[in-house]
Amino acid sequence: MQVIVCGAGQVGFNIARQLASEANDVTVIDVDAERVKRVTDAIDVKGLVGFASHPPVLQQAGAEDADMIIAVTIADEVNMIACQVAHSLFNVPTKIARVRHQSYLEPAWRNMFSRDHLPIDVIISPEVEVARAIIRRLEVPGALDVIPMAEDRVRAIAVRLMADCPLLNTPLYELTELFPDLKIFVVGIVRNDELIVPRSDTEMLEGDEVYFITDTEHVRRAMAAFGHEEAEARRIIIIGGGNIGLFVARELEEAHPEVRCKLIEVSEHRAKAVADELGRTTVLLGDALEREILEEANVAQTETVVAVSNDDEVNILSSLLAKRLGAGWAITLVNSTSYGPLVGQLGVDAVVNPRGSTVSTILQHVRRGRIRGVHSVREGAGEFIEAEALDTSAISGKRIRDIRLPKGILIGAVVRDGEVLMPRGDTEIRARDRVVLFTNADLIKKVEKLFSVGLEFF
């Protein structure tokens, strides 16, 4: 597949790296020559310096033969025009654009992104994706990540194992014996910053980050099995009144009326604007790095702090200060990859990465075969994939023990006619089953092949 990636920032770089690793022909365009050089030095892609919205630049990038354009530059208008040019002049089949400014996304202007106006097939809003990721974590106390799949019939969840976890040093095959009626399947373990796809005899250790798949109706019991029985937060402090903070507060007001929410914003102009947008949320003007403003927000009685300002350092330090003053749990927005290995050791409970959320959403529309959902984890080291089995898929009609999945791929759940099945060796994959898998990044092509349509289908 030939793909043009417009923008060589963090999102563009990670998308290009992922696609190039899967043997796609990728060209990256950016106006900044140093960024283009950084990308081409690090990964096997073509680089082009220029404005991604200019027709000659797109032509030079091979737009006439491209299967897809992914526009993720810093400017919304460049992303939209690049897709328009790719459609009108080069007839590129699939066009994906990142759009940050929310005025473009208001329901009143929904018709703007149509083939008759701005022909963009997929609009990605990082702020919306991040806000949704935060809300999911708030709904499952103690979770590092929560990923709904198969119309939310199953969820992939990440937890950290503490010293009081009852499952420490327990081989995974014993989970079925310990919890015979609990639908849960462990598919990944992060230990010493390394992602492991476990075997049945793998034991879980203190400090491990464990990824498991469970029936959505069993989430609370599954969390309790891993030692996480925290109550759902009723008192929340949001640090930062930007788009993400506003979205989270608005969602809490609309969907969780029982929650008492306070929002801290350092800019007087923005604080007033946010206060006008919200009804029940208390908006405080001040710096969240000052002890006095956190105490005014009654941080000692707060179950969860959500730090989502536009400054990583403010988010990390305010989260740590809030926890020191008595807050129970901290969810922290961190953009920079440099802080990734440090924040957990410092005491931040759950980290949200907008780049990861955006990349996962884009990959969902890039994957081939009957891929219905994709979520990238640990900087692309692994992926949760939801795929639909067809009559002619290589996996259909076979029992799991007979499929001979490559090492590094695990089937975590099968959804059939609305019912969630936990995988066993004698579980047969049938046509139209939704299969949720976890895979190492270097095996994604093999997953796509398992669910691709056979030639006899045509």
Q: For residue range 90-123, what is the model confidence (pLDDT) as tens digits?
A: 999 999 999 988 788 777 777 788 777 888 998 9
* pTM assigned to the model: 0.84
Domain 235-352, CATH: 3.40.50.720
CATH top class, domain 2-124:
alpha beta
Domain 130-225, CATH: 3.30.70.1450
Across all residues in the chain, what is the average pLDDT?
89
Query: CATH number of 357-457: 3.90.1150.10, 3.30.930.10, 3.30.70.1450, 3.30.70.940?
Result: 3.30.70.1450
Q: For residue range 325-370, what is the model confidence (pLDDT) as tens digits?
A: 999 999 999 987 777 667 767 778 999 988 777 887 887 777 665 7
Report the range of poorest mean pLDDT among 29-43, 126-140, 334-348, 407-421.
334-348
Same CATH fold assignment for domains 130-225 and 235-352: no
Domain boundaries, the chain: 2-124, 130-225, 235-352, 357-457
Contact 429, 397 (CB under 8 A): yes
